[in-house]
Amino acid sequence: MNNIPRNIFNKIKTTNPKLSFFVFPILLCIVLIWIIPFPKEKLTPPPSTIVLDRNGKMLRVFLAPDEMWRIPVSANKISPTLKKAVIGYEDKYFRWHWGINPVAIIRATIANIKAGRIVQGGSTLTMQVARMMEPKERTIPNKLIEMFRALQLELRYSKDEILTFYFNLAPYGGNIVGVGAASYLYFNKSPDQLSLGECALLATIPNSPNQYRPDIDMSSTQKARAKVLGLLRKAGKISSQQFKEALSEPIPDRRFDLPFSIPHLSTRLVQMYPHASLLETTIDGKIQQLATAILQTHLTPLQRQGINNGAIVIIENQNQQVLAMVGSNDFFDEPNQGQVNGAIAPRSPGSALKPFIYALGMEHGLIAPQSLLYDVPVEYSGYRPINYDETYHGVVTVENALIRSLNVPAVNLTAQLGENGIYYFLKEAWISTLPKPKEHYGLSLILGGCEVTLLELTNLYSGLANGGKFRSYRFLKTQLEEPGQQLLSEGACYIISEMLSQLRRPDLPASWEFSMHLPKIAWKTGTSYGHRDAWSIGYTPQYTIGVWVGNFDGKGAPALVGAEVAAPILFSLFTALENSSDDRWFVQPTSVSRRQVCAVSGMPLSKNCASAKDELYLPGISPNQECNIHQLILVDKKSGKRLCSHCRIGRKYAEKIVEQWPVEIATWLARNGYPIEKIPEHFAGCSKLASGEKPIIRSPSDNAEFKIRPTVALKYQKILLDASVSNRSKKIFWFLNGKLIYSGAPTQKVFVTPKIGNHNLMCMDDEGRASEVKFVVK
C-alpha cells in the first residue's frame, strides 16, 4: 500500500507543482494518521461487572476496578432521541466533518480571545472522544494531539461507532461514566427507555458534569435541559407540544441505587470469575425475589426464639440450573452475620440423607417398601444408635422407617450395604464436603455425622427427581450441561418419591395451614444433633427446593426442628411456584410394578398369610421370598402340644397357622409387651432333634473382655447374659463353663458375678438348639 501514495506524489509533482505544495502535506498527514499507532484499548476501559438473571435483567452491578460505575451499552440500546439531542447540543456538523470542524475552532478562538479566558472549546464529538480516552490538561499542544487522535478515530471507525464510544466514555457526574450507568442511576431505566426530557437532561451533563448533574444543582440542570430542548425544537426535531411536555418533566433529585438482589451469589461469582465483566446467570429474578420474601416472612417470628437465619436453594431439575439462591435472612444484618452464605456453609444434615440409603437398599434388592426392618437395640463395635425419641419400635416397614425417620433401621441398612453404602454414593453424586476416609464417618454418617452444604444437598435430591441421574448444578448460562451419571435406577427413585410424598407423617408441620393448598411434593426433613440445623428438602418433576434454618454462629435452639421451622418455608415456596394439577407428577416407570404382600410380614404372600396389602416393587430386584412368619403347625388334639412330621404318626392332630417371629427380634418383642402369639411346645415324647434357628447371644459378645475394678463392690460389676430366641421357645438354659446357672423364660435378663479367668458360655433353647461364646475376666 506504500506504493500507492508514492505514485500519487509523483503524478502530482509532474502535473502541477503548485498543487503539490498543498496536497503533499495533506497526503503526508493521512499517511501519518494511518501509520502512527492508535491506542484503541483506551476506548473501552474495564467496565463494571454486571450480573444478569436468566432473562437479561440486571441483578447486581459491581464498581469497575477504578471505582467508577461503567455499564457499557451498544448503539442499538441508546435512544435515538438521545443521539439527536447530543448531536444537536454538542456538534451539529458531526455527520459531516472529518473529526475536526475548522469553523468551530476559529469561532471558539475568537470567543476565547474576546473573553480573555477559555469559554468555548470548539471540540467536535470526535475530539471529545479523543480527550475522554486520554484525559490531558487543556493546552495548545494537547489540543493538537486531540485533533490528531480525532482524525485517527474518523479514519478507523464509522460515525455511529464514534458516537457509541462517546456515550460509553462521557462523564455524568461523580463516579458515573457512560450513559448506561447514568440512565440507571438517575432514572432507574436502561438508555433505550428514556423520555424526551430525560434524553435532553443526559445530553447536557457531560458538557459540565459537576455543574449539571441533577442531584447537586437542580436549577442549572433545568436551564441546560431547556437549552437542549430549545435547540431540538428550533431544528424541527420535536413539536411545540413535545417541547412543553418535556420541560414539565421532573428533575431527579437523587441517585437511584443499582440493583442488589442476589448479593451472596454475585459475590461468589465475582470471586470465581474475576475477569468476567458480564455474568449471565441461570437465576430467575422473580423466583429469587419470592424466595427472599418468603424466607423473611417466616424468620421474623422465629427470631424471638433465637433462630436468626436461613437459606434457600431452588434448582430446575430439567437442566440443573439454579433458579434462586438466598444466602441469609438479611445480607446487611451484621450482628447475625448476614453476609455469610448459608447455602454453601457446611452443616450437619441430620436425617436428610436417609432417603438415599433406602434408595440404595431398594436398588440392591435388600428391601421393598413394605419389608420389615428391625428397630431394636443393636451395637456395632461399641456404637449403639438410638432413635430421636429414644424409644425402639421392634419392627417397622421400610416406608414407616423412612417417613418416621427412625435411626436404628437406617443404621442397620447402612451396615448391611457395606461398600455399596452411602459414603461412596455421596462422593460420586457431587457431595464435596466429605474429605475424610469412610472409616472416619462410620455408620453414623447416615444420621448426619458429616457436613453438607444446602446447595449440594438440594442438588443431590434433584438426582431423585431426575430418575437417578446425578449432575452438578449450574449458575451460569455459559456452563455446559453435563450428561450426568446414573447412580440410582429410575424405578428405585420413583418408589422413594412415592413414599416421600405421603402427607400423613410425623414430620408434617403441626400447623396444617401450610399444607392445605400444597401440591403433591416429595419431601424430607432433617434436624441436626443439638438442634443446630433444621432442614427441609423437597421436589416435584420440575423443581427441587432446599431450605436450611439455623444460626451462623452454630447456636442451637429448642425450636430448631426441620418439620417445624424449615418445612413450612418449603411448603410456602412450592405452593407459590407450582400449580396443583396432578398430571405434573412422575410417570411410573416400566421397571416398577404393584404386588400383594403379607399384611404382617410385608413379604410376598404364602398360602398361610391371612391378609394382604399392596406395594410398589422392582420385579427381578426386590426381595421375593414368601412370607415365613405365617407358619402352619400341627397340634396334638389330646395334649395341645406341637407335633412334627416324626411324632405326628399315629396321633390325632389339627392344623393351625401361627406367627413365628425371627429369632433376632422375637425375645425383644415379647419382653417389650408386644402381643406375640404363644406357640405350643414340641411334643415331649418326640425323639427327633429339632432343626431351625439357634439362640443368638447378645451379651456378652464373643471374646469380650471384662476388667474387675478393685474399688467397686463385685455385686455392682455383674455381667449381663442376654439372648434372643424364636417365639417357639418357652424356656432357655444358660451354661457357664458347662454348669447350668439359669433355666427359665427367655425374656428374663440374667446376671452373673464376674470371676477372673477364661469362660465358656452356652445358651440352649427348649428344643436343644444352642450357641456359645467365650469371654475373659481380668
Residues that bind Zn ion (CB under 5 A): 598, 601, 609, 627, 630, 644, 646-647, 686, 688
Q: Which is nearer to Zn ion, 55 or 691 (CB)?
A: 691
- Provide the minimum distance between the beta carbon of 406 and Zn ion in the complex, in angstroms, as a whole number: 23
CB of 659 to Zn ion, least distance (A): 8
433, 426 Cβ separation under 8 angstroms: no
**What's the angle, vertex CA 393, arms to CA 512 and CA 767, rounded to 5?**
160
Q: Which backbone phi and psi does 351 adopt, to 5 degrees?
A: -85, 5
Q: What angle do CA 51, 52, 56 make, to 5 degrees?
A: 160
Looking at beta carbons only, is 132 or 598 nearer to Zn ion?
Answer: 598
> How many angstroms separate the CA atoms of 228 and 247, rounded?
10
**Could you tell me the three cell numbers for 628?**
415365613
Task: Say which residues have a Cβ less than 8 Å from residue 9's Cβ, sequence separation at least 6.
Answer: 20, 24, 27
Question: From the CB of 582, what's the least distance to Zn ion, in Å?
Answer: 33
> Rounded to the nearest whole angstrom, what is the least distance from the CB of residue 677 to Zn ion in the complex?
13
In DSSP terms, 614 is beta-bridged to: 596
Minimum CB separation of residue 622 from Zn ion in Å reads: 16
Amino acid at 741: I
Q: Which residues contact 32 (CB under 8 A, 6 or more apart)?
A: none
In angstroms, give the least distance from the CB of 639 to Zn ion: 12
> Cβ(190)–Cβ(201) under 8 Å?
no
Q: Measured from the CB atom, is 404 or 630 closer to Zn ion?
A: 630
Q: Between β-strands 278-280 and 69-70, what pairing exists: parallel, antiparallel or unpaired?
A: unpaired
For the bound state, the minimum distance from the C-beta of residue 654 to Zn ion, rounded and expressed in Å, comes to 16
Q: In the bound complex, what is the minimum distance in angstroms from residue 634's beta carbon to Zn ion?
A: 9
We find the least distance from the C-beta atom of residue 740 to Zn ion, in angstroms, to be: 24
- DSSP letters of 277-310? SEEEB---HHHHHHHHHHHHHHHHHHGGGT--EE
Nearer to Zn ion, 57 or 688 (CB): 688
User: What are the φ and ψ backbone dihedral angles of 502, each rounded to 5 degrees?
Assistant: -70, 140
- C-alpha distances (whole Å) from 502 to each of 400, 505, 527, 580, 623 are 11, 7, 19, 15, 23
128 versus 601: smaller Cβ distance to Zn ion: 601
Q: Which is nearer to Zn ion, 689 or 712 (CB)?
A: 689
β partners of residue 385: none
Smallest separation (angstroms) from Zn ion to the CB of 497: 28
State the Cα–Cα distance between residues 449 and 407, nearest whole angstrom.
12
Least CB distance from residue 602 to Zn ion, whole Å? 9
Rounded Cα distance, 234 and 92, in Å? 12
Name the residue with cell 507543482.
17
Choice between 164 and 397, CB closer to Zn ion:
397
Q: How far is the CB of 606 from Zn ion (least distance, A)?
A: 6
Residue 147 or 398: the one with the smaller Cβ distance to Zn ion is: 398
Cis peptide before 700 (omega within 30 of 0): yes
DSSP codes, 643-702: E-TTTTTT--EEEEEEE---HHHHHHHHHTT--PPPPPPBPTT--SPP-SPPPEEEESPT
Write b or e for each residue in 135-170: b if 16 or more Cβ atoms lie within 10 A of its Cβ, otherwise e: eeeeeeeebeebbbbbbbbbeebeeeebbbbbbbbb
Nearest approach in angstroms of CB 352 to Zn ion is 34
When the beta carbons of 328 and 370 are compared against Zn ion, the nearer one is: 370
Distances (CA, A) of 643 to 108, 635, 637, 649, 663: 125, 6, 10, 9, 20
Distance CA 286, CA 389 (A): 41
Compare residues 247 and 644 and give the one whose CB is closer to Zn ion.
Answer: 644
Identity of the residue, 637 or 688, whose beta carbon is nearer to Zn ion in the bound complex: 688
CB closer to Zn ion out of 34 and 653: 653
Nearer to Zn ion, 261 or 608 (CB): 608
Residue 317, class by beta-carbon neighbours within 10 Å (0-12 exposed, 13-18 middle, 19+ buried)?
A: buried
